[in-house]
Structure formats: structure tokens, C-alpha cells
Amino acid sequence: MLRIVCVLAVLAAGLSAAHTKVNKHKPWIETSYHGVITENTDVVLLDPPLVALDKDAPIPYAGEICAFNIHGLEAPFEAVVLNGTSGEGQLRARGLVDCELQKEYTFIIQAHDCGSGPGGMEGKKSHKAVVHIQVNDVNEFAPVFREPQYRAAVTEGKIYDSILQVEATDQDCSPQYSQICNYQITTTNTPFAIDRNGNIRNTEKLSFDRQQHYEIQVTAWDCGQKKALHSVPVHIDVKPVCKPGWQGWNKRVDYEPGTGSKQLFPKMHLETCGEPLSSLRVTVELQTSHIGKGCDRETYSEKSLQKLCGASSGSTDLLPAPSAATNWTTSLVSDNGRDSDLIFRFDGRQAAKIPDWVVPQNLTDQFTIATWMKHGPSPGLRAEKETLLCNSDKTEMNRHHYSLYVHNCRLVFLLRRDFTQVDTFRPAEFHWKLEQICDKEWHYYVINVEFPVVTLYVDGVTYDPYLVTDDWPIHPSQIDVQLTVGACWQGGEVTKPRFTQYFRGSLSGLTIRPGKIESQKVISCLQACKEGLDINSLESLDKSIKFHFNPAQSILVMEGEDLENINTAVRKVSYINSRQFPTPGIRRLQISTIVQCFGEDTCITIPSIDAVVMVLQPSEPRITISGVERLSQSASDFREAGGIALFQDLHIVSTVTRADATPRHTVHQLGVLEEIIHNLDYCDILVLGEELNPKQESLQLQLSSLLGKHLDATNSTSGMSIYGVDSMANYEQVIRQVHYYHLQPGQLTERKFRLTCSELNGRYTSNEFTLELNVWHSSETGEHISHMVAPPQYMQVVHHPSTISDLYPNHVSGVPSAATVVIVMCIAALVVVVVLGIYRIHVTHQQEVRQVETTKEADANWDHSALTITVNPMENLETHTTGEEEASEVDEEEEEEEDDEDEEDDEVTSDESDDSEEEVDVQLPRMQRLSEKTQRWDKTTICY
């Protein structure tokens, strides 16, 4: 048994050794392979072919190849054995390969022999080989354009190398099929061509007039000659030749009065035609020289303007409107101009002598001369002097004491002092050379004299003289001097006295103020323009923009480097007119632009543009004065110290007609009245009929009523004038304080007054409001008989009786009934008297005649009372006696009251008369007392 086991062990060992010796070698393959596969196929063409060799061949199994294994991350390939004996294999794809997804693959492959049996047990592996597979593309996609359409713009008259470029793409992965090799314009008969890169150009010059728009179709081919499925439209706009300049502005801009600031160019921008700019300078100029005196200013009178601006008092207007009191300007050529401006034109032949009482002959060391002047260059190389204002000897000699004249476009002020004022060599002539003097435009000139210093202001700006010459003072003499305007008076050294050195130009508002000089603030106010340029939202303006205005705000200059910032700034420029009633008409605008380019000698030129601002006609106000139009006063009322208040119930209102936007059923609705508030500049109270007798009557106004207001007043025998720029409410308050005085009311039956008011120096005037004052006189008998039916004192009879109860709410309305009862009783008494007293008629006839003469005057003043009072002749004697007693009692009471008033007056002032019947006491400081013996009427100043 043991022997058998040993034999089997020896046999097994022999078989194992035999098998090991059979599969001694590993399969062999190439170290690397390169393959190509066409997309959408599964066969890979390898180079070199896939073949595995085994040196154990032809031993079965050991020399045979059983498999090829692929090692890689999800490689979509597999290797199959075509012949195990020869070791030939094949590489193929497990599915369709897409080049657009992946163009190349790399993985590892190994060969396995069959080992010791069919199952490949104990088989050997070859070394690892690298396989690199490239996927060949198939032209499966057509070209597609990147944009659905293309658009471009060209300027007419130019040939472009490239107007625009179209571009198509192809989704194929290979360069052969993904690249676009050709473009083509499929639209026929077009002046355009396209190259291989898609650049479109024009083949001829295009004309905007002939055709403004083109649309062409373009297609593309890839290098595999596959055509795009859809062509693309290309739109080309033809523009006219680009001209640098401002665009998007309106030729006319309408300005509605009272709307504040209005933008002039809200959509304007500068077209530079693509030129790069380094800086820009834009100048906007508002031309208003044809409006009034150079621009829209307040057109109040000189006195009103000076009061409004706070100027010093005492100014004298040397060129007032012609009137009876100021007749020296009657011979001058005046032009009210626009908006009630008073302008005098001098053509070298007119001049005016100023009366001696207007201005003191010798001015003090301080005074001011101011005037508006419009002057142009004089003809001739050496033109003679043109005198505005001259104070010279009236006779015998030809000395100029002071004068203001123009010579060769230079303004010269001459001031020669007397020996009584100074006895040394002192400055006498002051010369200024300014462009404004001869630019034919309006300017405001002010000369402040603080001898020896003389200062000139032109439009509010100070100018120093370029030349000052000295001279000796004038020798004293007894020769009177003559002040003239428009020329200089030559009263001596000639055969016949005459004017010389005539002025040629226009003057307005020539004033002189002795003893004081004006401040720069007042001067600026007097010449300030009420219209000009402005910038909306100044704080939002870019900080890189530099801008500045001239003093009148008629010129605006803006500078910057960025074009868009300049465009934004220009769009903010606006026009503003602060007047409530501006002067309507055209204001011209001009915009000039200067640009600089980067380092170029030549740059684009921006043409200037001209536009207009049309200031529309403002709604004209209708100033209406209303109140009690008839006053009926007792003569005894005039004995009161306060006099008669004429306009206690005065009302001044102003209305304008506005367009009514509310729909109306009636067709004829033109508009609605709207009450507005504005200023007035004067109100005149004119005495109708005979002028006031200054010895007996006057119009007076309390000084306190003017305090705190911009108002002043003048008085004369023809009436009173209240002037100054102030509100209608203040004018109402002041006019209500005007009182009428009469020292002998017994001689007065009626007086009529007319009141008119104005705004803007007469541009808008009110209605003429007429007030009738009736004075009724009560006789002794009449007072006794008609006492219960007589109207109360101060009753005011108006045209509309229904308003009496409104004016006098405490007034009893039962008077007509009482009057009727009295009339009936009187008629009944008359019948009884006629029946019973015929026999006594011859006895009382003389008494009746005397009674009729006594009551005649009282009856005449009751014509409009509609009352008839009959006196019983039988009771005449008793009534007359009783009336005398009552009249004497009334007189005694009045005398006692007047004595009490006199005692009170003595406490106020010590220089007043004790006789209260001869003097009216208002108890005011600076009040002028009226007296039959001492009254002297001042025609130029108000009585206080």
C-alpha cells in the first residue's frame, strides 16, 4: 500500500513540472496604437493592427490568445479576438461616437493567453499598451449667423471699406466643416459687396435724397460647401452728410408771464460727428437792448423807484414829464418808448434850461448825478464835446462851474470850485474811457462826488478815472448861473447868448441829489434787470463745469471737457422774468461754441445758433376804485378838528380775466374774473371845478399814516398826489386818512373830487372815482321844526340806498315812516288853519313873508329829501321865539365845547391861537395851521 502511494506522488510531481514548462511565455503586443474612427460608425482603424503573439505556440491553449482587456474610465470601446491562434483582434465602439461631444480617446489595452485550458485558467497577460483614438468629423451641421439681423448707418457721399461685418458659425467639430469659407449677398441689384470675412461695403456713393434705407439678404457656406439654411437680413440707413452743430432745439420759446424760470433747450445736444474733443466753451447771450432801457426793468417813476430802493431823499428829476409845473421839458423830443418809459432824444439841436428854483446854484462837497444814457460814436475825427448837464454863467462870462459831457467816446466830469470854498490847485476834470459810452446801448451812469474824490458807477460797476487834471478855483462874482440839459449855455463872450456843445443820444431819469451820495446797493437796485438767464438745479450741475454770468445775467459762459456734461449743463439753461407784468415781445438768443481737439491743428467748427424767447402778453389788470360816491355833511361838522374824511369807505381791487377751463353749457363764456394782488405807484386826488382857496380850505394827511410805508405825498390847490411803490392795501389805508378842511363852511355848498390810481407809471390806470361832497346849512327855525326828521350828522348818501344799512348798521330805518306821519299831520293842520284863520291873514302876512325868507336857504338844501314841511303861520311868533332860545342854548354849548378844546390844545402846543373858531387843530407834529389871516398854501409839499 505504501508503495502505491509513493508511485502516485511521483506521477503528480511529474505532471506539474510538465505543465509549467508548457505555458512559459506571456503574450506580446505593440507598446502603443493609434486609431481613427468616423463619427456615427463603430469600427476603429488601428495602426498597427491589433495582433498579439505568444512564443508558447503551437502549444494548445498556452500559445493561443483568449482576450483583449481595455482599462480606462468609461471608454466607449471594446476589443474582440478575431483569431486566437494568430492573435488577431479588432477594436470597435460600443455605440455611435459623436465628434462634437469628444474628438479623441486614450485608454490601456492588454492581451491574455488561454493558459492551461479552454477557460484560460492560469493564463498569462501581456504588457500594457496605450491606445489613442481620434474621431473623424462628418459635415452634419449648416452655418448659422450669430445675430437674427444686422443694422448699420452710413453717411451719404462716402465710400466705406467696411460698413459692418456679419458672422456665421458651424457646430461641426473639425476645422474642415466648422469654418465658414464664403459669404454671399443674395439680394440682387444692390450697391453693396461682401468679402470672405463677412465685411460689407458699398460699391458706390449713396445718396440720402435717392434712398434713405437698404435691406439686403446675406448667406454663408462652410468649408465643406454646406450652405446656411437661413439667410440673415442686413439693414443699412443712409444719413445726410454730418454737420457738426447743436441739434434738438426750437427756434422759438414762448414764455408765459408769472411762470418763473423756464428751460430754453430741454432736449438740445451737440453733434460732433465723431470728432474727439478735448474742451468746449459755450456762450449763451440774451439780447434785450431793444426792450426799454436795455432790458425789462421796473418802469415806475424815478421818485417811486428811489423810494422803493431806499435812496436818500432830496433827489431832483431834471427830465420830468412835461407839465404846467415842469414845463422846461416841453420843447424836448420825448419818447414814452415801451412800457411807459420816459425817454428824451437829443439830435444835436435840442436843449433845456432848468429853472433856478429847481436845483441850488452852488452844490456842496457831496452830491450825486445819475442818468440813463444811450450814446453812439460822433461823426468826424475830432468830434466836439457833447454836454449832458452843464452849469455855466448866465451872462457876461463863459465859465463852466460843473458839467458832464462826452468827448471822443470819453466821459468827462468837470467841477470848478469857488474861491470861497477852496483856494488851492485842486482836481477839476475827471476822465473815463469806457466801451459802454459809444456802444449805442443803454447804460446807467452814477457819479458820486465827495470832493476831491469822484466815483463813477456804470451799471453798478465801479470805474476809476484814467486821467484827473487839476485847475484853480473860479474867482468869485455876482453873476448868476444857468443849469442846462442837452447842451451848455454860453451867456458871455459871444454876440448873442446861445446853446453850444449839443448832445446827440438819448437820456432818461437824469437826477441830481445835493448834499448826499448814493450807496452801491441803491445804485444796483435802481439799474437792476428783472429778466435774465438762469440755471435750473444748479446744485446738480457737474463739478467739472465752470460757469459765470455777467452782472446783468444776460450772458452765461460754460466751460468743460466732457461733451455729455456740457450737453446736460446747456439743457439746464433757462429764462426768468420776475416782473408781474413784463414787457411783451421778442428777446433774441444766441449760442456760440468754441471746441478744441486733441493735438490737432484743425478742428471742427460749431456754427452759432439763433433763437427767440417770446414773452407773451400778460393779462391786463383792471383796477377798480369803489366806495361812497356822495357825502352829505352839516356845516357844523367842519368845526371839528379832524375835518371831513372823504374816503372812509374806499376799496381798491384789481382783477384779470382768465381763460375758463371748466366746461360750460353756454357758448359765449369768455373767461372768469380773478382777483389779483399787485402794487400801485401813485394815486391822485383832483379837485374838480375851482381850485382850493388856500386861505379857507385844504386837503391834509396825517404824517403818521405814511410811516412804515414806501409812500410819500405832495399837495397843491388842485389836489393831492400820493406816490410810491406799495400795496393796494397800504394805499387804501392812506387815502382813507385824507381829510378836507374848510374854515368858513357857511360859504360852501358842494365840492367834487376825482380819485385815480396807477400801476407802472400809468401803464395800467383805474377808473375815475368821483366823490361829491354836499354841505347843508341848518337855520335857527329850520333846526327847531325839522329836528326829528333831519338826517343824522355824517350821513352819507350813496347811489345804491340798499347799502346804507351795511355802511351804518346802527342807523334806524324807520325815518321814511315818521316823515309820512309828519306830512299828513301838517296837511291836516293846514286845512284847519285855513278854515279858522282866514280873518287873521292880513295880520300875519308880514310875519309869513319874513319866515319864508328865513327858511328859504334851509329848504333849498332839502330838495332831494322828498320831505315837505309846512309851518303854521299862526304859530310863527311863538315858534320863532322858541327857536331863538334854543339856538342861543346851542351856541352857548358849542362855545363851551370849543373853549374846552382850546384848553386841551394849549396843553399840546404853545404857539397855537386861542381862538378855536379861526383855527383847525389836528394835534399833530409839523402840522400846518390854517387861519383866515395867516394861511399860505404850499403847492409842492403836503400840509402836516
Q: What is the pLDDT of residues 893-911, one digit of tens each?
A: 444 444 444 444 444 333 3
Average pLDDT over residues 274-290: 88
Rounded (10°) CA dihedral 795, 801, 806, 812: 60
| CB of 492 closer than 8 Å to CB of 397 | yes
Residue 797 confidence class, pLDDT cut points 50, 70, 90: very low
Average pLDDT over residues 567-579: 92
pLDDT at site 823: 66
| CB of 576 closer than 8 Å to CB of 615 | no
Nearest to 378 by CA among 356, 405, 409, 351: 409
Read off the DSSP letter of residue 85. T
Read off the DSSP letter of residue 292. B
pLDDT at site 573: 94
| CB of 292 closer than 8 Å to CB of 337 | yes
pLDDT tens for each residue of 88-138: 988 888 888 888 888 888 889 988 888 877 666 678 888 989 999 888 888
pLDDT tens for each residue of 484-521: 999 999 887 777 888 999 999 999 989 998 888 888 88
Beta strands 585-597 and 609-615, pairing class: antiparallel
| CB of 428 closer than 8 Å to CB of 470 | yes
Between CA 919 and CA 743 the distance in angstroms is 7
Burial class (CB in 10 A: 0-12, 13-18, 19+), 817: exposed
Between CA 777 and CA 329 the distance in angstroms is 47
pLDDT tens for each residue of 429-452: 999 999 999 988 899 999 999 888
Q: Which of 41-55, 454-468, 634-648, 713-727 has the lowest mean pLDDT?
A: 634-648
Residue 360 confidence class, pLDDT cut points 50, 70, 90: confident
pTM (two decimals)? 0.58
Per cent of the chain over pLDDT 70 is 76
Residue 4 confidence class, pLDDT cut points 50, 70, 90: low
Checking if the pLDDT of 669 tops 60, the result is no
Residue 456 confidence class, pLDDT cut points 50, 70, 90: very high
Q: Check residue 524 and give left, alpha or beta (phi > 0: left; psi -120 to 50: alpha).
A: alpha
Checking if the pLDDT of 457 tops 60, the result is yes
Q: Which of 524-528, 768-772, 939-943 has the lowest mean pLDDT?
A: 939-943
Residue 276 confidence class, pLDDT cut points 50, 70, 90: confident
Average pLDDT over residues 610-638: 90
Checking if the pLDDT of 32 tops 50, the result is yes
Given strand 573-577, what is the order of strands in its sheet? 261-263, 573-577, 531-535
In angstroms, what is the C-alpha Rg of the chain?
57
Higher-confidence position of 749 and 902 = 749
Between CA 305 and CA 725 the distance in angstroms is 7
pLDDT tens for each residue of 235-260: 999 988 888 899 999 999 999 998 88
Residue 73 confidence class, pLDDT cut points 50, 70, 90: low
User: What is the maximum span of the chain, computed from C-alpha positions, in angstroms?
Assistant: 218
pLDDT at site 671: 65
Residue 308 confidence class, pLDDT cut points 50, 70, 90: confident
Checking if the pLDDT of 939 tops 90, the result is no
pLDDT at site 399: 85
Read off the DSSP letter of residue 418. B
